[in-house]
Structure 1
């Protein structure tokens, strides 16, 4: 199942992507017999109520005839937001691909290196990356992101994926000059409306093994990053378990899992994003995320 957030009448609404059509989530749930309680106003509301049984819902949605439900519009024509438009937490893992650690000249980490963004940092597909007036050193980082499905506190690594709703695509856009002004990364990582995410939250039953996914980042059609999630140092389960031991995770929380080598800052000469650049991050089986720098 692919969950999206789309705009209609100046409101964000939850939807289900089937083929190229976006269907209203509540219409889909009604069609499969899920009619208990009030309608859901957001994807996070669905995760709060049913994050532990998304696999079952996904199987029932897969058997649905989408022609029986009025489409909200085609995916390419709707204004999309981040799949979870109102997460309580946006967390990120730095230095989680061996080749990226190598290009930075740092030592291999013994534990996941965690930093934070804010919900105000997130934007959806096709929305403008609003950073060019903030920094002259704007960089790209294509990443797979986890979305939490159930309240998660001190879980074991072996059980951690049972708390994950699914994954999505994220571009950890970074203002490098702001990042390295001090010892803390926050100023360079959490600029308002700087972090594209989407287009869909893809449930794990549809993704399959999240550690075998090809990832590619392109700038103006030219490939700048290419890797596979099997090259992560810390697995998704390790990341979720590790964070859950010091911070309770909530349905809808987003965790970016790190970027591979090829970032603009480590190229010779450095390759900084410019106003008008088209940045694309594509992860096989998850989706294509496209944004233009404003």
Structure 2
């Protein structure tokens, strides 16, 4: 449904900025008139873009699944171990991932991402989910050779197009239990990751609470909650991504994203 159609059918002016629409009251007003809306467009008729193209922050957790940490020979932390991705890494849910030709070990990571809905500071675990707007898929594409050389994550995970996400934001009312969602990654239709968000070390409530004690979380912030076991670097014979490979990530209730890998 287009902005013009929403305005025509509800009489509510829609701002040009998606963050204003979601977080400053317009969406709530439109919901009150949802019975007036006629949905005439199929998803296949439109190009799906990045759900939030200009988030204040993209916060990512490292080794937040027991099986992934075990495969890496690490003991999971009882506090969030984080790194940041730049906004320029964001990519559409079905667009190519463009990898620089000098990268030699390109890896995939399926992640459940949380979208913060209102300013969050020093929130308790019990109240933390009240500050969530919704959820989406994040593909944390990783250049392992750069990551291992730098001994930190930012450069190897912050390359342009290295954060495909979407295919849309599923609002929290549509997800009864975000800690019980199946996560599947396929590369060229071969199953690589098959796990559940129930295997997180730190659940979403604790992540939000812990982060909010050290930084103010803002509407539109993306928190990517880590990846389960099955990534290429943990295999006995690693199957890193190659030019032309297609990575498909599905998270229960959130949909599917699919991206072709292109080396340039």
- The equivalent of 1:16 in structure 2 is none
- The equivalent of 2:249 in structure 1 is 281
CA contact (8 A) 1:282 1:288 kept: yes
Question: 1:21-48 CA deviation, whole Å, 9 max, x = no partner?
Answer: xx12563366456x2xx52223212233
Q: What is the CA–CA distance in structure 1 between the aligned matches of 2:33 and 2:132, rounded to whole Å?
A: 19
- The equivalent of 2:5 in structure 1 is 27
Count of residue pairs brought into register by the alignment: 262
Q: CA deviation at 1:194?
A: 1.2
Q: CA deviation at 1:105?
A: 0.2
Question: 1:226-279 CA deviation, whole Å, 9 max, x = no partner?
Answer: 011111111111111111111111111111001000000111211111111110
- Structure 2 unaligned residues grouped into runs of 5+: none
- The equivalent of 2:38 in structure 1 is 66
1:127-276 matches, cutoff 5 A: 127-276=95-244
Q: RMSD across aligned C-alpha pairs, in angstroms?
A: 2.0
Which aligned segments of 4 or more residues in structure 1 are displaced greater than 4 angstroms? 56-60
Q: What is the CA–CA distance in structure 2 between the aligned matches of 1:260 and 1:286, rounded to whole Å?
A: 17
Give TM-score, length-normalised by structure 2: 0.92
Q: CA deviation at 1:114?
A: 0.8
- Structure 1 unaligned residues grouped into runs of 5+: 1-22
Match of 1:94 among 62, 80, 83: 62
Q: Secondary structure at the match of 2:180?
A: coil
- The equivalent of 2:21 in structure 1 is 46
Shift of the 126–134 alpha-carbon distance from structure 1 to 2, 3 Å rule, reads: farther
Q: CA deviation at 1:131?
A: 1.1
Q: What is the CA–CA distance in structure 1 between the aligned matches of 2:97 and 2:118, rounded to whole Å?
A: 30
Q: Secondary structure at the match of 2:223?
A: strand
CA contact (8 A) 2:193 2:231 kept: yes
1:103-122 matches, cutoff 5 A: 103-122=71-90
Question: 1:185-233 CA deviation, whole Å, 9 max, x = no partner?
Answer: 1111111111110110000101221111111000001110001111111
